Structure 1
Amino acid sequence: MLKVDLKIVESDDGVSFDEAHIKLLKEGAVLLEKIVNDSDSFEKKVTGKGLRRPKRFRRSNGLSRTEVYNVFMSGDDKFTEESSTDSNVQGDMDIDIWIHPYKTKPGVVGYTTPSTHATWINLNKLYQWMNRYNNQPNLLRAEIAGNLAHEYCHNLGFRHGRGGSTRANRKTVPYFIGNTVRDIGRNEANLFAIGNSEDLFACSESVESK
Structure 2
Amino acid sequence: MSHQLILSAQLLCFLFIVSCNQATPPIVVDECQLPEQYRVSENLIPLDAKNCLIPLQIEATHLETSILLQDFSREQEEKIQAAIARLKLVINSKEFKKRVLNFQYENMYVFVDNQGLSNEEIYEKIREGVEVLNNEFDQEIDLDATLYYSSNSTVGYTYPNTHRIWINNKFFATNSLSKVAANLMHEWLHKIGFGHDKQRTMRRAYSVPYGIGGIVRDLIEEMTPTLVESRL
Deviation, structure 1 residue 49: 7.8
- Runs of 4+ in structure 1 off by over 4 angstroms are none
- Output the CA distance in 2 between the equivalents of 1:91 and 1:119: 21
1:161 matched residue in structure 2: 197
Q: Using a 3 Å threshold, how does the CA distance of structure 1 residues 106 and 20 change in structure 2: closer, same or farther? A: farther
Structure 1: runs of 5 or more not aligned: 10-15, 82-89, 130-139, 191-210
Q: How does 1:33-52 map to 2 (within 5 A)?
A: 33-37=88-92, 39-48=93-102
Among 46, 55, 64, which residue is 1:3 paired with? Answer: 64
**Distance of 1:7 and 1:189 partners within structure 2:** 27
**Number of the residue aligned with 1:108:** 154
Counterpart residue identity of residue 167, structure 2: I
- Kept after mapping to 2: 8 A contact 1:106/1:125: no
Q: Conserved in 2, the CA contact under 8 Å of 1:80 and 1:92?
A: no
Question: What corresponds to 1:68 in structure 2?
Answer: 122
| Partner of residue 210, structure 2 | 175
Q: Specify which structure has the bigger relative contact order, considering alpha-carbon pairs within 8 angstroms and separated by 6 or more residues.
A: 1
Q: TM-score, normalised by structure 2?
A: 0.65
TM norm structure 1:
0.71
Letter of the 2:97 counterpart: E
The whole-number CA distance in structure 1 between the counterparts of 2:103 and 2:207 is: 17
In the aligned structure 2, how far is the partner of 1:144 from the partner of 1:73?
A: 20
- RMSD, aligned CA: 2.2
CA contact (8 A) 2:145 2:164 kept: yes
Rg bigger for which structure?
2
Q: Is the 8 A contact 1:112 1:120 kept in 2?
A: yes
Alpha-carbon deviation of 1:142?
0.7
* Equivalent-residue separation in structure 1 for 2:137 and 2:122 (angstroms): 17
Percent identical pairs in the alignment equals 29
